[in-house]
Amino acid sequence: MKALLINREWNVPGTWYEPCRKLEQFKSVVFADYLSTSSSAGDWDGILFQLLNNRVYAITFYQENNYPYSGFTLSTGEVVGVIKPIDGKYMEQVKEFAENFDEYID
């Protein structure tokens, strides 16, 4: 599916949190958040959830600091999970998946 935000890369200017904000600007992205922010350089990873065709796709992402240049390289990975909305509702499932990511993925 071409519309899925998988295996993509962008150069994002700005501070540590701009890459996640960029993902949230896509109309189909219903939630994006960081999973690990332990690197003081801002080399962080996270997960985004994209709603397409009545399915919510969980997709990993990673940002890498472009030092000594400015901004970050934002890269998306593969689909790591799919949520089928129940009665059109999915946010509770999305937040549970994000909070328990390590338990869902080995």
pTM of the predicted model, to two decimals? 0.91
Q: What does the pLDDT average to over 7-14? A: 96
Closest C-alpha to 31, from 106, 100, 90 = 90
Each residue's pLDDT tens digit, 41-83:
999 999 999 999 999 999 999 999 998 888 999 999 999 999 9
Closest C-alpha to 19, from 78, 58, 84, 64 = 64
- Sequential DSSP letters for 61-91: EEEEE-TTSSSEEEEEEEEEEEEPPBTTB-H
Q: Are strands 72-83 and 55-65 parallel, antiparallel or unpaired?
A: antiparallel
The residues, ordered by sequence, that sit 6+ positions from 102 with a Cβ below 8 Å of its Cβ are: none
Identify whether the C-beta of residue 60 lies closer than 8 Å to the C-beta of residue 77: yes
Summary mean pLDDT of the chain: 92
Give residue 67's pLDDT. 87
Each residue's pLDDT tens digit, 67-76:
888 899 999 9
